[in-house]
């Protein structure tokens, strides 16, 4: 979602800001802009890519301070006027903002009454004007920020400069990440550390309701009362986001094909010399808890569904919740619940909301994330990293498999069950087999379904969880409506939608449910569905579409999820869609 970069005193702010915006573009955006000071405030912005922005910005900018922004529209359509940076009514304040201001309508009304007018529809423009209003009143930026922060409700990471203080960037933050990068003769700011890692490994992270300013020589941070606070810089080694496609046409397919590496890396990180290598305190807390609560969103939630089953296998009761649901109706079954949150990005706002509730109730918690240094990694009690390498494609693939792999091992470690590791290794043979032999067949299925308006995935148990993920992936990047239905649930309603020619994709890999699934196939076939069956060898029939070698059936999400990923990929490709950056979606969902 939205990204911020800013630089003061940097040797070439333009180079840094543009490179930074490019490095943030994995988060997803629909418009981009920059602003700098050179005989007044200069702003260039437009709908479209950072490359397009670069084309409209003059070659020879000289500036001491510069801010940049990539916007993912929330308040107001993706138009040039709504694109950041925003300039206040009297052109005194120039601002970029990530987050959502809950009370912007009230603030706007207050400003309209004071004869302010607005060119766009964003909450961010309102905040630029609120800051200006108080700045005109008191001519003191620190007092202005304090006053504005006492009024603004919602999430914000804001960077701004004024028309009369030409060497300073001001920053303020609540519930949306903002990081300052420390340099010699320059200082930087960004919505996460990744755009700054070529320039520095020393960072100051602002906490909620803190604000401050950076010049090329100094950084000052204040609490909401305006008292200066000393913050120790932290050192971070952050993986540079690789923009190297390594010969692949898209990140999505590159990342699907990194699944075996990802699984092997998790095994070698968390299993050595025949033993699991998890923090003993974490294992003790998990063992002592009487209920595990999984909380996550989207694909990560689907991994949580699978993970819940793994813990149940070792006699832990478990519940699973979608974060945005749990946040507004939190329940804590059991006497000693333990919360497991799952998030590829570690920055998902819905989950950060949940974490606040979890902390308020002093509940033990763990985050499973791919992003070291992210908000959830830093703020949860325990953190397990996925070590999957950066996932650039908006559609999550290797991170999902990594989450399931790690959950299988974590649950098994409660019972020192090391067979899981062998099962995981064996499941990789199936992943390789799919990669090496089944892609043309999957592409052919993709061709057949690409013009369909709607389709269904069917499965039971672990195959149902995989169906949910297969369905999400297909709708995300191919824009085909699809639904995942547990086989047994079909006759309770969804079967009404089965008509001649509708594709139904069925997973049959679980010996316990295989015969019921065959019954479901008959039910939909009789009503004219075009059935594609994916089965394991010992459960297969000659008419099945894809038959893979047997594997431990509880690992469907590791062994055969790539079939679903390739299918979504090839359908999107056949439809000429932007595979890595599907419409309306963002990689890091930093607003609730
Ligand atoms: C789907 C996808 C999303 C994310 C969801 C949660 O491909 O990527 O559904 O899984 O937005 O994001 P994280 O895992 O970063 O919390």
Q: Is the CB of 85 under 6 A from ligand 1?
A: no
How close is the Cα of 302 to the center of ligand 1, in Å?
A: 10
Q: Is the CB of 388 under 6 A from ligand 1?
A: no
How close is the Cα of 71 to the center of ligand 1, in Å?
A: 19
Cα–Cα distance list, 342 to 305, 307, 322, 381 (Å): 11, 10, 11, 13
For residue 302 the two structure tokens come to 């689907």
pLDDT reported for residue 240:
54
- For 373-399, the DSSP string reads TSHHHHHSSEEEE-------SSS--HH
Supply the residue whose CA is at minimum distance from atom 3 of ligand 1. Answer: 298
Q: Is the CB of 590 under 6 A from ligand 1?
A: no
Q: Is the CB of 369 under 6 A from ligand 1?
A: no
Best residue for ligand 1 mutational test, from 396, 469, 473, 475 (most atoms within 8 Å of Cβ):
396
Instruction: Give the DSSP H or E segment for 364.
Output: strand 364-369
In 126-284, the DSSP E strands lie at 156-162, 169-174, 179-182, 187-190, 202-205, 210-214, 219-222, 228-229, 234-235, 271-272, 275-276
How close is the Cα of 592 to the center of ligand 1, in Å?
A: 13
- For 481-502, the DSSP string reads EEEEEEGGGGGGTGGGG--TT-
Supply the residue whose CA is at minimum distance from atom 7 of ligand 1. Answer: 395
Digitized pLDDT (tens) for each residue of the chain, 592 residues in all: 789 999 998 767 788 888 889 888 777 788 999 999 988 899 999 999 899 998 999 888 888 899 999 998 878 899 999 999 999 999 999 999 998 899 999 999 999 999 999 999 999 999 999 999 999 999 999 999 999 999 999 989 999 999 999 899 999 999 888 999 999 999 999 998 888 888 898 999 899 999 999 999 999 999 999 999 999 898 765 555 556 788 899 999 999 999 999 999 999 999 999 999 999 999 999 999 999 999 999 999 999 999 999 999 999 999 999 999 999 999 998 899 999 999 999 999 999 999 999 999 999 999 999 988 788 998 899 999 999 988 989 999 999 999 999 999 999 999 999 999 999 999 999 999 999 999 999 999 999 999 999 999 999 999 999 999 999 999 999 999 999 999 999 999 999 999 999 999 999 999 999 999 999 999 999 999 999 999 999 999 999 999 999 999 999 999 999 999 999 999 999 999 999 988 888 777 777 7
Task: Work out the number of other CB atoms within 10 angstroms of the CB of residue 331.
Answer: 9
Q: Give yes or no for a contact between 481 and 454, defined as CB atoms under 8 angstroms apart.
A: yes
For residues 287 and 364, give the distance between their C-alpha atoms in angstroms, rounded to a whole number.
12
Q: Is the CB of 350 under 6 A from ligand 1?
A: no
For residues 388 and 373, give the distance between their C-alpha atoms in angstroms, rounded to a whole number.
15
How close is the Cα of 198 to the center of ligand 1, in Å?
A: 27
Task: Work out the number of other CB atoms within 10 angstroms of the CB of residue 167.
Answer: 15
Task: Work out the number of other CB atoms within 10 angstroms of the CB of residue 303.
Answer: 28
- Residue 415 contacts by C-beta under 8 Å, 6 or more apart in sequence? 314
pLDDT reported for residue 162:
97
Instruction: Give the DSSP H or E segment for 270.
Output: helix 259-270
Task: Set out the domains of the chain in order of their start, with CATH numbers.
Answer: 3-241 (3.60.20.10), 253-417 (3.40.50.10490), 438-592 (3.40.50.10490)
Q: Is the CB of 345 under 6 A from ligand 1?
A: yes
- Tell which atom from ligand 1 comes closest to the C-alpha of 589: 11
How close is the Cα of 277 to the center of ligand 1, in Å?
A: 27
pTM above 0.85, yes or no: no
Q: Is the CB of 194 under 6 A from ligand 1?
A: no
Q: Give yes or no for a contact between 174 and 205, defined as CB atoms under 8 angstroms apart.
A: no
Cα–Cα distance list, 155 to 150, 158, 208, 545 (Å): 13, 10, 9, 49
pLDDT reported for residue 390:
86
Whether 297 is catalytic: no
pLDDT reported for residue 259:
97
For residues 211 and 66, give the distance between their C-alpha atoms in angstroms, rounded to a whole number.
18
Of these residues, 2, 94, 297, 380, which one is catalytic?
Answer: 2
Residue (of 168, 161, 157) closest to 208 by Cα position: 157
Q: Is the CB of 396 under 6 A from ligand 1?
A: yes
For residues 367 and 351, give the distance between their C-alpha atoms in angstroms, rounded to a whole number.
10
């Amino acid at each position: 979602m939205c990204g911020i970069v800013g630089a003061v005193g940097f040797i070439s702010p333009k180079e840094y800001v543009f490179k930074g915006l490019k490095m943030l573009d994995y988060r997803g955006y629909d418009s981009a802009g920059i602003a700098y000071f050179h005989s007044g405030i200069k702003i260039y912005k437009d709908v479209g890519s950072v490359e397009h922005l670069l084309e409209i910005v003059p070659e020879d900018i000289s500036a001491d301070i510069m801010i940049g922004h990539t916007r993912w529209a929330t308040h107001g359509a993706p138009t040039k006027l709504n694109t950041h940076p925003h300039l206040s009514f009297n052109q005194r304040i120039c601002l970029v903002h990530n987050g959502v201001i809950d009370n912007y309508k009230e603030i706007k009304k207050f400003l309209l009454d004071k004869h302010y007018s607005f060119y766009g529809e964003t909450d961010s423009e309102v905040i630029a004007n609120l800051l200006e209003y108080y700045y005109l009143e008191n001519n003191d930026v620190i007092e202005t920020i304090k006053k504005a922060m006492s009024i603004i409700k919602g999430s914000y990471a804001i960077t701004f400069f004024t028309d009369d203080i030409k060497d300073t960037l001001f920053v303020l933050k609540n519930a949306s990440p903002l990081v300052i990068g420390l340099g010699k003769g320059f200082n930087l700011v960004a919505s996460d550390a990744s755009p700054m890692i070529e320039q520095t490994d020393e960072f100051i992270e602002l906490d909620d309701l803190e604000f401050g300013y950076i010049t090329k020589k100094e950084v000052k941070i204040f609490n909401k009362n305006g008292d200066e606070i000393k913050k120790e810089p932290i050192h971070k080694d952050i993986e540079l986001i690789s923009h190297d496609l390594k010969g692949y046409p898209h990140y999505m397919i590159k990342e699907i094909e990194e699944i075996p590496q990802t699984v092997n890396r998790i095994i070698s990180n968390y299993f050595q010399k025949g033993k699991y290598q998890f923090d003993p305190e974490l294992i003790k807390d998990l063992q002592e808890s009487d209920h595990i609560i999984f909380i996550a969103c989207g694909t990560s939630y689907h991994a949580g569904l699978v993970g819940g089953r793994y813990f149940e296998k070792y006699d832990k009761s478990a519940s699973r919740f979608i974060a945005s649901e749990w946040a507004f109706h939190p329940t804590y079954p059991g006497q000693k619940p333990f919360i497991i949150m799952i998030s590829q990005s570690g920055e998902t706002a819905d989950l950060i909301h949940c974490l606040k509730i979890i902390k308020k109730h002093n509940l033990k918690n763990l985050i499973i994330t791919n992003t070291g240094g992210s908000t959830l990694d830093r703020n949860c009690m325990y953190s397990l990293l996925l070590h999957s390498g950066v996932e650039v494609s908006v559609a999550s693939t290797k991170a999902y498999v990594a989450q399931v792999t790690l959950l299988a091992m974590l649950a098994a470690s409660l019972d020192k069950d090391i067979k899981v590791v062998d099962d995981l290794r064996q499941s990789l043979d199936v992943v390789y087999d799919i990669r090496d032999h089944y892609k043309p067949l999957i592409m052919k299925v993709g061709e057949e379904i690409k013009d369909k308006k709607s389709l269904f995935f069917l499965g039971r148990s672990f195959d149902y969880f995989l169906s949910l993920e297969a369905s999400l992936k297909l709708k995300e990047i191919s824009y085909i409506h699809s639904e995942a239905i547990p086989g047994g649930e079909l006759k309770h309603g969804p079967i009404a939608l089965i008509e001649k020619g509708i594709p139904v994709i069925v997973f049959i890999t679980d010996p316990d449910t295989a015969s019921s699934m065959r019954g479901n196939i008959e039910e939909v076939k009789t009503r004219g569905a075009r059935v594609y069956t994916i089965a394991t060898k010992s459960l297969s029939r000659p008419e099945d579409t894809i038959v893979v070698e047997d594997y431990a059936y509880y690992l469907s999400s590791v062994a055969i999820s790539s079939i679903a990923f390739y299918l979504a990929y090839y359908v999107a490709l056949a439809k000429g869609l932007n595979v890595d950056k599907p419409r309306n979606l963002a990689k890091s969902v930093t607003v609730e």
